[in-house]
Chains A and B, each alone.
Chain A
Amino acid sequence: MNQAFRKKIKRNDRIARWVITVGGMAIIFSVIFILVLIAKVSLPLFLPPDAELHASTRMPRVENIRAVGMDEYLETGYVIDASGTIRFFNVKDGAPLDQELLSGAGGNRSLLAVETYGRLNHVLRWSDGSLTIDQVKFRPYFDAENDNRRSILHRVESLASFPVPATGPGVQTLARVGGEGRQVRIDLYSDNRLLVQLIEVSENFLGEEEVTEAEHQLAFDTAGDVSALVLSSDGTRLYAGTKQGELLRWDLSDSEEPTLLEKIQAFADRREITVLNLVYGDVSLAVGDSTGQVTTWFPVRDDSGVWKLTRIHDLSRHSAPVAAISPSPRDKSVISFSSEGLLVDHMTSERSLLSLGRKDRLQLYSMTTRGNAIMGLTDDGRLQSWKLEIPHPEVSLGTLFGKVWYEGYDEPVYAWQSSAATDDYEPKLSLTPLIFGTLKGTFYAMLLAVPLAIFGAIYTSQFARPRLRALIKPAVEVMAAIPTVIIGFLAALWLAPLIERSLGSLFLSLVLVPAALMISILAWQGARKIEPLRRLERGFEFLAVAPVVILAMAIAAGLGPGLEQTFFAGDLKQWLFTEMGTRYDPRNCIIIAFAMGFAVIPIVFTIAEDSLSNVPSSLKAASLALGASRWQTVWRVILPSASPGIFAGTMIGFGRAVGETMIVLMATGNTAIMDLSIFNGMRPLSANIAVEIPEAPVDGSLYRTLFLSAVILFVMTFIVNTVAEIVRQRLRAKYGRF
């Protein structure tokens, strides 16, 4: 070999080594890069919430402030003082903008108290006992002539006014104006009487307005005096709490007949209920008590079917009695207020989000309609505003993986339900049912695919004629090339209805096919004495088996309907439901087992077949020469030696099934339930991502949760593959090396 040629070889070696190294590193790098990219999107879910002091100003010459508020752009703030004047000001520098007298003001009436609900609706209580409801509205305006500069327009709208009742004003009053012309005023008198005044405006069939007015005294009997009251924003539900820890609930929806729904001893230790309010959506009742604890309650149906207020979530605890509770106008967050300051919690996730104004000694506060800022009034007259950064209050590890007691549910559940038709709906983002769905679908697919693939591989590699093997192997590998969308399509539109129609036959064939095989094997013992038939034993067994199996299936198909008729009252699905308590979904695990199994079989088969064929024939010969039968040889020598490869094939199949999307998307029904039943569908992580990502607002909780589920999917396949590789190495060290 001449020198130049030798050099060339060495150079090529070097280049090849570099190319391979760079390629390998690039693959590792891009996999890590993808993981980092996905993880980065999901990470903000777990960032702690943040509040930043936005401004701290003072309005000169304004005293006796009864309410504060601010627009959601954090530009215009307002205060309402005892004279009934609303003054708007610039949040940043406190510069006064304009002011106006509220509709109820006038004469020598002064404003005693303001209660705020919903979107900056202020219930104003005047010194003469009358109530008015005014709403402050903000609207951004873009000035087209002035470079589209944004300015915030504001106005005050009078919604309703309630005169003093004949019996005089109560010590506590409530008023709400509902969306459909319903106005309710509640007066609580010091002798524990409650007066309800209702005005309902309805349209009769001629299209004329009819006004119904009603007044009721609510009778009730409690151990302690009523200390807290709250009315739902549509005025149909009234709640009261007492000094002895009792809770009462009335239904006011029938204006003729308000009914006391229940009275419960909420706290066994009879602690005083100091404040009540309704969480956004008006279903959950937030209760603040004298111990400083904030709890939320909602009616749950008990065993006898009666709705009963039940303590659901325990939120933060103040060290002083709770003085006020207000809901976030945007989500299920609850702001509670005591002399200690403000605490913001998310009800469902029970996450303690923020603690504000601990040192500022706040007297009043209010949240913007978008829930992005809080303005408070300190006792020395400063107007403090905080900008809140709580992007994902409803997400915590508990809500992602644990059981959560959602509003309106009878018990804590794992639930995935990301969207609904109403605004006050809370998304249910538990990943547990999805992980469960992935594992369930994979389990059933593997249950079908692995035995079929491995036995197929054993037969093909050890028993079939080489010529046959040369046919079977590529044919099975072609199966892997079928687009999964076609498999899913066939499974959903052809297989699912077929199996639904012939469920009885399917189960019958599970019995008949093995039975027929047993019988035919027994029969074969006689038939094999005939020479031409005996030749089948050497690699053409399937020719004898196929007709038996087909015949057994045909018989099952024929007998199935009769079986259902005789033993299952004509409908197996109905029987399953009534007798076994199992619902039959048309798209269920049977379908998935067939469809996804079909997709997994080629992978497991090919790898298993390769490793079985690669067992040195010398081992097979050694075993046979010692008098082992073909089956003994396979079982005792070939299978252990090929086990690393078979295991690897199974695991790669597993990884494939976990990540499979199109088939499960089309053939599972995508119901996020946690039920092991083979007759139910599921919603796996992969299909969930495919279904929901187009509808998920970018950077929203759903969006990030979907990315998190992608990380989980990634990690799952990573773990499966790593475990597979480790086990494979172990097996290889034990059985390999020939």
Chain B
Amino acid sequence: MTTLKIENPVIEVEDLRFFYGESRALHGIDLKFPEKRVTALIGPSGCGKSTLLRCFNRMNDLVDGSRVEGQVLLDGENIYDRNTDIIELRRKVGMVFQKSNPFPKSIYENVIYGLRIAGENDKALFDERVETSLKGAALWDEVKDRLNESALGLSGGQMQRLCIARAIAVNPKVILMDEPCSALDPKSTARVEELIGELRENFTIIIVTHNMQQAARVSDLTAFLFEGNLIEFGVTEQLFVKPQNKQTEDYITGRFG
């Protein structure tokens, strides 16, 4: 296992262990995520990469009987501390899900949902955020004339970009993406990948993907997980071209997974 020198880590994971009831899903992960970079988490199904991702905004709290040990530091503060405000945490760490999940509301209302639940009521701010977020998600030109129509009328790719717009509208530090393109056609996937490239200028992005080409295309760093352990973590090009670990090599060359 290599040790990579990370400058300005936004999220530091220290000896993170995660349990679903009695079964252990993560066996002590240590990782650092650099600021304004795209980090990909790859690995075969059930390796714990989604679980790890969901630890960063404590979405795993919703799972009955789950338990976390170890630390996840966001800007140096442990998010599993008893005094952590989960709501504040989730405003800093946004998330985009595998299946696009816009609310059954208008496009406009979808984007400002995060602001509304924070008690924001300023119409001018809403208008401005809707525009910047949709532009940021490369959706503005397509929907600017029908902001008040239901979000459910959009295409799959548009919906996913709307979800990204919704996530960036609250100005998070980190955006977690859980296989954001797995349900999209190749064209929409290309749009979203392009978008991720643009978003890295402003956000720290952690993306879980099954698709190694995608990881290679969009990420700066890649972490390979296997059976709840971090096997290898490195600069994407190196990891794919010259994997240090046998298991990594087997996986990226398609011998299993």
Contact B114 A627, beta carbon cutoff 8 Å: yes
- Decide if A250 is an interface residue (CB 8 Å cutoff): no
Contact A624 B104, beta carbon cutoff 8 Å: no
- Decide if B95 is an interface residue (CB 8 Å cutoff): yes
Chain A residues with CB below 8 A from B118, complex form: 627
**Assuming the A-B contacts A632-B117, A738-B152, are A625 and B104 also in contact, with contact meaning beta carbons closer than 8 angstroms in the complex?**
no
Chain A, residues 694-738, CB within 8 Å of chain B (1/0): the string is 000000000000000000000000000000000000000011111
- Decide if B91 is an interface residue (CB 8 Å cutoff): yes
Near A by CB (< 8 A), chain B positions 150-208 give 150, 152, 163, 166-167, 170
- Decide if A623 is an interface residue (CB 8 Å cutoff): yes
With both chains docked as a complex, state the minimum distance between the C-beta of A219 and any C-beta of chain B, in angstroms: 87
Chain B residues with CB below 8 A from A625, complex form: 57, 59, 90, 94-95, 97, 167
With both chains docked as a complex, state the minimum distance between the C-beta of A471 and any C-beta of chain B, in angstroms: 15
Contact B64 A465, beta carbon cutoff 8 Å: yes
- Decide if B101 is an interface residue (CB 8 Å cutoff): yes
With both chains docked as a complex, state the minimum distance between the C-beta of B173 and any C-beta of chain A, in angstroms: 13
Please pick, from B116, B150, B167, the residue contacting A734 in the complex, using a CB distance under 8 A: B150
Most buried by A among B95, B101, B118: B101
Q: Which residue of chain B lies nearest to A641 when distances are taken between CB atoms in the complex? A: B104
Contact A736 B104, beta carbon cutoff 8 Å: yes
Interface segment, A169-177, A258-266, A614-622?
Answer: A614-622
State in angstroms the CA–CA spacing of A738 and B100 once bound together.
10
- Decide if A677 is an interface residue (CB 8 Å cutoff): no
Contact B87 A616, beta carbon cutoff 8 Å: no
State in angstroms the CA–CA spacing of A734 and B104 once bound together.
7
With both chains docked as a complex, state the minimum distance between the C-beta of A645 and any C-beta of chain B, in angstroms: 13
Chain A, residues 601-619, CB within 8 Å of chain B (1/0): the string is 0000000000000001011
Q: How large is the interface on B (under 10, 10 to 19, 20 to 34, 35 or more residues)?
A: 20 to 34
Contact B101 A621, beta carbon cutoff 8 Å: yes
Contact A626 B117, beta carbon cutoff 8 Å: yes
Contact A626 B101, beta carbon cutoff 8 Å: no
State in angstroms the CA–CA spacing of A637 and B116 once bound together.
12
- Decide if B80 is an interface residue (CB 8 Å cutoff): no
Contact B152 A626, beta carbon cutoff 8 Å: no
With both chains docked as a complex, state the minimum distance between the C-beta of B177 and any C-beta of chain A, in angstroms: 11
State in angstroms the CA–CA spacing of A627 and B118 once bound together.
8
Q: Which residue of chain B lies nearest to A531 when distances are taken between CB atoms in the complex? A: B82
Contact A624 B59, beta carbon cutoff 8 Å: yes
Chain B, residues 111-148, CB within 8 Å of chain A (1/0): the string is 00110111000000000000000000000000000000
Chain A, residues 535-571, CB within 8 Å of chain B (1/0): the string is 0000000000000000000000000000000000000
With both chains docked as a complex, state the minimum distance between the C-beta of B61 and any C-beta of chain A, in angstroms: 9
Please pick, from B64, B94, B104, the residue contacting A738 in the complex, using a CB distance under 8 A: B104
Chain B residues with CB below 8 A from A466, complex form: 64
- Decide if A640 is an interface residue (CB 8 Å cutoff): yes
State in angstroms the CA–CA spacing of A566 and B116 once bound together.
50
With both chains docked as a complex, state the minimum distance between the C-beta of A640 and any C-beta of chain B, in angstroms: 7
Contact A622 B104, beta carbon cutoff 8 Å: no
Most buried by B among A624, A625, A629: A625
- Decide if B62 is an interface residue (CB 8 Å cutoff): yes
Contact A737 B152, beta carbon cutoff 8 Å: yes
**Assuming the A-B contacts A618-B99, A629-B87, are A624 and B62 also in contact, with contact meaning beta carbons closer than 8 angstroms in the complex?**
yes
Contact A626 B59, beta carbon cutoff 8 Å: no
Chain A residues with CB below 8 A from B99, complex form: 618
Contact B103 A637, beta carbon cutoff 8 Å: yes
Most buried by A among B89, B90, B99, B103: B103
Contact A626 B104, beta carbon cutoff 8 Å: no
- Decide if A628 is an interface residue (CB 8 Å cutoff): yes
Please pick, from B88, B97, B113, B152, the residue contacting A636 in the complex, using a CB distance under 8 A: B113
Contact B101 A640, beta carbon cutoff 8 Å: no
Chain A residues with CB below 8 A from B114, complex form: 626-627
- The tally of CB-CB contacts under 8 A between chains A and B is 74
**Assuming the A-B contacts A627-B114, A737-B152, are A618 and B170 also in contact, with contact meaning beta carbons closer than 8 angstroms in the complex?**
no
Please pick, from B104, B166, B170, the residue contacting A640 in the complex, using a CB distance under 8 A: B104
Chain B residues with CB below 8 A from A619, complex form: 101, 103-104
Chain B residues with CB below 8 A from A632, complex form: 117
Chain A residues with CB below 8 A from B101, complex form: 616, 618-619, 621-622, 738
**Assuming the A-B contacts A465-B64, A618-B99, are A627 and B170 also in contact, with contact meaning beta carbons closer than 8 angstroms in the complex?**
yes
State in angstroms the CA–CA spacing of A259 and B202 once bound together.
106
Contact B150 A622, beta carbon cutoff 8 Å: no
State in angstroms the CA–CA spacing of A628 and B103 once bound together.
13
Chain A, residues 641-653, CB within 8 Å of chain B (1/0): the string is 1000000000000
Near A by CB (< 8 A), chain B positions 35-93 give 57, 59, 62, 64, 87-91
With both chains docked as a complex, state the minimum distance between the C-beta of B95 and any C-beta of chain A, in angstroms: 4
Contact B152 A627, beta carbon cutoff 8 Å: no
Contact A627 B87, beta carbon cutoff 8 Å: yes
Contact B163 A622, beta carbon cutoff 8 Å: yes
Chain A residues with CB below 8 A from B113, complex form: 623, 626, 628, 636
Contact B62 A628, beta carbon cutoff 8 Å: no
State in angstroms the CA–CA spacing of A364 and B228 once bound together.
112
Chain B residues with CB below 8 A from A637, complex form: 103
Chain B residues with CB below 8 A from A734, complex form: 104, 150
Near B by CB (< 8 A), chain A positions 634-689 give 636-637, 640-641
Please pick, from A621, A627, A736, the residue contacting B97 in the complex, using a CB distance under 8 A: A621
Most buried by B among A623, A624, A627: A627
With both chains docked as a complex, state the minimum distance between the C-beta of A522 and any C-beta of chain B, in angstroms: 20
State in angstroms the CA–CA spacing of A620 and B11 once bound together.
25
Contact B64 A626, beta carbon cutoff 8 Å: no
Chain B residues with CB below 8 A from A623, complex form: 103, 113, 117
Contact B150 A628, beta carbon cutoff 8 Å: no
With both chains docked as a complex, state the minimum distance between the C-beta of B10 and any C-beta of chain A, in angstroms: 17
Chain A residues with CB below 8 A from B59, complex form: 621, 624-625
With both chains docked as a complex, state the minimum distance between the C-beta of B93 and any C-beta of chain A, in angstroms: 8
Chain B residues with CB below 8 A from A616, complex form: 101
Q: Which residue of chain B lies nearest to A617 when distances are taken between CB atoms in the complex? A: B62
With both chains docked as a complex, state the minimum distance between the C-beta of A697 and any C-beta of chain B, in angstroms: 58
Contact A626 B88, beta carbon cutoff 8 Å: no
Chain A residues with CB below 8 A from B167, complex form: 625-626
**Assuming the A-B contacts A465-B64, A734-B150, are A628 and B97 also in contact, with contact meaning beta carbons closer than 8 angstroms in the complex?**
no
- Top 5 A-B residue pairs of the complex, sorted by shortest distance between their CB atoms: A618-B101, A625-B95, A627-B91, A627-B90, A626-B114
Q: List 19 A-B contacts (CB under 8 A).
A: A465-B64, A616-B101, A618-B97, A619-B103, A621-B101, A622-B101, A622-B102, A623-B113, A625-B59, A625-B167, A626-B90, A626-B113, A626-B114, A627-B91, A627-B114, A627-B118, A629-B117, A640-B104, A735-B104
Known: A465-B64, A738-B104. 13 other contacts (CB 8 A): A622-B101, A623-B113, A625-B95, A625-B97, A626-B94, A626-B166, A627-B87, A627-B90, A627-B91, A627-B117, A627-B170, A636-B113, A640-B104
